[in-house]
Amino acid sequence: MRDIFLTQAMPKISDVAELKIILYIFYLLNRKQGFSSFVTYREISPCVSLIAGVDEKKLRQVLELATNYGILRRIEVKAEEAYESIHSPTHHESIFTLYEQNIAMITPMIAEELKEAEKVYPEQWIKQAFEEAVMLNKRSWRYISRILEHWGSEGKKGGKYRQSFKEGSPNKYIEGKYGHLVKR
């Protein structure tokens, strides 16, 4: 989260009140545990007047600016206004967070590969692949992506198998990894 703040948010902030409000929002986001990576307007507004010395109008202006800058994203949560970091998914632990916490800083090239992996593999598989790599002290995206590719082609023990690999499927050997070697 601090890398996002320093590289994305800080260069766009123009006044002290804006800086204080954005820092406070990132502080609140950082304190969140589990699935909720957003803060509601009601969570932000009571303390902002004390911290930044601003009124509601100024707070709304800063939130609008942060949204326009791409620092925050405005979302509706059960008819309530809420804000989240633009780089932080709301419903799951970010693959970017997993990567930064367990491997290294994200490069643009790795970011593209991570986005692609999120589209292809289930969230649980990604988390488990990171856990396995860390446990074996193989901290590289190449290793993790190979785990995911293996699970994708061979199925995953204890997890869900791909449709063609279900027990008893007559085509499980023909459509598998070595299907090109089998004649009918």
Residue-wise burial string across 81-105, b where 16 or more C-beta atoms lie within 10 A, e elsewhere: ebbbbebbbeeebbbbbbbeeebee
Query: 4: closest CA among 84, 79, 102?
Result: 84
Select from 37, 58, 85 the last residue of a domain.
Answer: 85
Find the domain containing 107 and state its range.
95-181
Residues 56 and 133 placed together within one structural domain of the fold: no
Q: Which residues contact 84 (CB under 8 A, 6 or more apart)?
A: 29, 37, 38, 39, 72, 73, 75, 90
Strand order in the sheet with 72-77: 38-40, 80-85, 72-77
**172 shares a domain with 148:** yes
Q: What is the pLDDT at residue 18?
A: 86
CATH number at residue 30: 1.10.10.10
- CATH number for the domain spanning 126: value is 1.10.10
The residue ranking higher by pLDDT, 73 or 61, is 61
Domain count, the chain: 2
Mean pLDDT of 28-34: 70
Determine what percent of the chain is predicted with pLDDT higher than 70: 69
Residues 20 and 59: beta-carbon distance below 8 Å: no
Q: What mean pLDDT is reported for the chain?
A: 76
Confidence band, pLDDT 50/70/90 cuts, at residue 161: very low
Residue 99 shares a structural domain with residue 177 = yes
